[in-house]
Amino acid sequence: MAKNIGARVIGTAGSEEKAKLAREAGADEVIIYTKQDFAEETKRLTGNKGVHVVYDGVGKTTFEKGLDVLRPRGYMVLFGGASGAVPPFDLIKLSQKGSLFVTRPSLLHYIATREELEQRADDVLGSIAAGRLKLRIEHIYKLADAQQAHRDLEGRATTGKLLLVT
């Protein structure tokens, strides 16, 4: 989606296999964080300027470094907490690191009205129908196997969409 609006995308992955998937999805650069320090590598890739926005689905273990790679007035979008909740921190750090912005979006606030829900659904589904957005379905589980699907998600054993079917 970011590529569709002209963004340069720098992704992170824990393995070469996942890095390959990120590149196939459109990432311009992929940092394998188990082999490289993602903050140092991001700074190198941006000529020490930093990035405009960080989308962080990991949380606790990546939050501070994510702030460190933002350029002045950059945005940290914390949408998940795979490694746990971000501990409380002093908001003065945001000004010290460049007048940064932090948000913790919730889907409910972005589909608060029927009109918003329909607009957002049309945007996503229209992009899929037009071929601008590709979904990669990794696995289809029977509804009776929903517990296994959750275990696979929680164990970070998945890389694509999971479907539950009856």
Q: Phi first, then psi: what are they for 65, rounded to 5°?
A: -65, -35
Residue 156 reports pLDDT greater than 80: no
Q: What is the mean pLDDT of residues 60-86?
A: 94
Nearest-5° Cα angle at 124, 79 to 100:
35
Model pTM? 0.86
pLDDT tens readout for residues 14-55: 889 999 999 999 999 999 999 999 999 999 999 999 999 999
Task: Determine the straight-line distance between the first and last CA of the chain, rounded to whole angstroms.
Answer: 30
Is residue 75 scored above 90 in pLDDT?
yes
pLDDT of residue 127: 94
Residue that is written with structure tokens 């409910």 in the block: 108
| Amino acid letter for position 143 | L
**Region 72-80 average pLDDT:** 96
Long-range CB contacts (within 8 A, 24+) of 15-19: 17/159, 18/159
Structure tokens at 148: 């296994």
